Chain A
């Protein structure tokens, strides 16, 4: 730990600001290069691109601040070191593939908490990822569409300026390509309804939920989806009624969501993959020596974990070192609980009498 916490905090902020600016600069460079010097950049989407750059800054900043925390930093370093260990990389890549499938693609770990929760999360997550896979490349000028010069019935798709495919407007691909964001909105809306239904019925969730962290993100996603679908309704059913206003309204909701991205619940999208590193860390711990409790002698964790935790505690200023040279961290949780009761009992013994009861309190 730094001798001066204020100085340390100041340097953390400076470093994190630097990371935020670097990530934002990377996105700006990506936009410039990917849109071929802005030739493919659509000026109508500049507000989306601008909000994305700000979100990139926020994400870089918050991620860097998060990594400054001693426990996070330790897991980050250990996780990568274990993953990149020589001789185990191929095996680790296979394991990583399985972990990504289980934790990111299917997200089945949420199903073990509640099937409704899993369905809601899966629909929202994949709806958002689908929308992001379309929106960001479009607003960055990485993807563009144009009508073929020799036929009004053929559309051509370009990625980074390269012609990738052509499709007919009366073919099966055209409605899918033009309505992919509607499809994403429907997925997200289905997930939102399930999420709100669960929240409305789960008394535990009702007690601890907070508007800013639990309901605002759902409200933002709802606003993005509904205003996006309004655009399709206006185009196909209302002959473009109020399309200009609706497109501005939709842009406003998307931009608000992008600005919220680094600071609210959505940050877990970037934070949660740490779970994969923890999985590697746990495997490495299981392969190594166990830590045995100083009191009962039973193994209770990996030696790697307990020793690392002592380092983290020292960095945090948690002083578990004991007068006799021992360390409180070397006690298993069960023996800690017993020790507390014994310590309290010893106080009564030292006082020469037990805590006799005077009357029963109802």
Chain B
């Protein structure tokens, strides 16, 4: 990776155009398959969409829970897809990743994930998604530049219950906020669904009765 540049996600800028999803398929290490998820959030109340790339944790939980020791990091901190000779397709990484990133490819019986377009970033180019994102919700630039052009500041620290996770990828938060805290849904205005309750309507397809 380019030492001066980092990856930033600014969810508020996402316009849901799917450019990142399409461009991701051009990455040489997983050509033809997109590793980006674009989620629609609380669809009845909001038009918000959220792109999710791998956050490239400093101490990735996916690698810790891998029974085959198949998930490795490059010297510059990029967490790679599972090594094909080792991955046993157990999906531990898929379930344990706090960001919901790794994908189990049923056809290949193997885990694959965003590797920050290592074919590009390892030679100083921007990842495909950040290159095509028209609103720069996904940006690959310097920290100084991102903080000059956006409100708030960039953080790379997350707290999931008692677990603190630091990532190579940053998100934009209001000034003075040191970390994003995810403490099951209730604190941040969300409610956990009662057991047996109908799932919340998040998706356009559900609203249109197509799902």
> Residues of A with Cβ closer than 8 Å to B?
66, 69, 71-72, 74-75, 109, 112-113, 203-204, 207-208, 265, 268, 271-272, 274-275, 278, 281-282, 292-298, 300-301, 305-306, 309, 312-313, 316, 318-324, 326-329, 331-351, 354-362
Contacts and interface: CB of A to CB of B under 8 A. Distances in A.
B52 A274 contact: no
**Contact residue range for chain B?**
35 or more
| B180, B184, B196, B199: most-surrounded residue (chain A CB, <10 A) | B184
A319 B159 CA distance: 10
Given A204-B29, A297-B198, A343-B181, A355 B10 contact: yes
Contact of A359 (B92, B99, B149): B149
Contacts of B173: 344, 347-348
A340 B165 CA distance: 13
B80 A208 contact: yes
B122 interface: yes
Nearest to B9: A344
B67 A326 contact: no
A265 B85 contact: yes
B77 interface: no
Interface in B24-67: 27-31, 37, 39, 41-42, 48, 50, 52, 61, 64-67
Contacts of A339: 182, 185, 188, 190
Interface string B142-154: 0001100111100
Contacts of B107: 112
Given A309-B92, A355-B10, A296 B200 contact: yes
A4 B180 CA distance: 31
B108 interface: yes
Q: Which 8 A-B pairs have the closest CB atoms?
A: A333-B100, A319-B162, A341-B50, A351-B174, A336-B100, A204-B29, A346-B188, A71-B67
Contacts of B192: 294-295, 326
B99 A337 contact: yes
Task: Label chain B's interface by main secondary structure.
Answer: loop
A46 to B, nearest CB: 32
A109 B109 contact: yes
Contacts of A274: 67-68, 88
B5 interface: no
A341 B90 contact: no
B166 interface: no
A191 to B, nearest CB: 14
The prevalent SS among residues of A at the interface is: helix
B205 interface: no
B145 A361 contact: yes
Contacts of B69: 66, 69, 72
B163 A318 contact: yes
Contacts of B41: 338, 341-342, 345
B12 A355 contact: yes
Contacts of A265: 85
B7 interface: no
A322 B86 contact: no
B4 to A, nearest CB: 15
Determine which residue in B41, B66, B99, B161 has the highest number of CB atoms from chain A within 10 A of its CB, and name it. Answer: B161
A331 B145 CA distance: 35
Nearest to B92: A71
Contact of B50 (A272, A312, A328, A337): A337
A318 B136 contact: no
A225 B13 CA distance: 58
Interface in B182-211: 182-190, 192-193, 195-200, 202
Given A204-B30, A278-B88, 16 more contacts: A66-B69, A72-B69, A281-B90, A296-B202, A309-B65, A313-B61, A316-B65, A318-B163, A333-B97, A333-B101, A341-B48, A342-B188, A348-B173, A351-B152, A355-B174, A357-B151
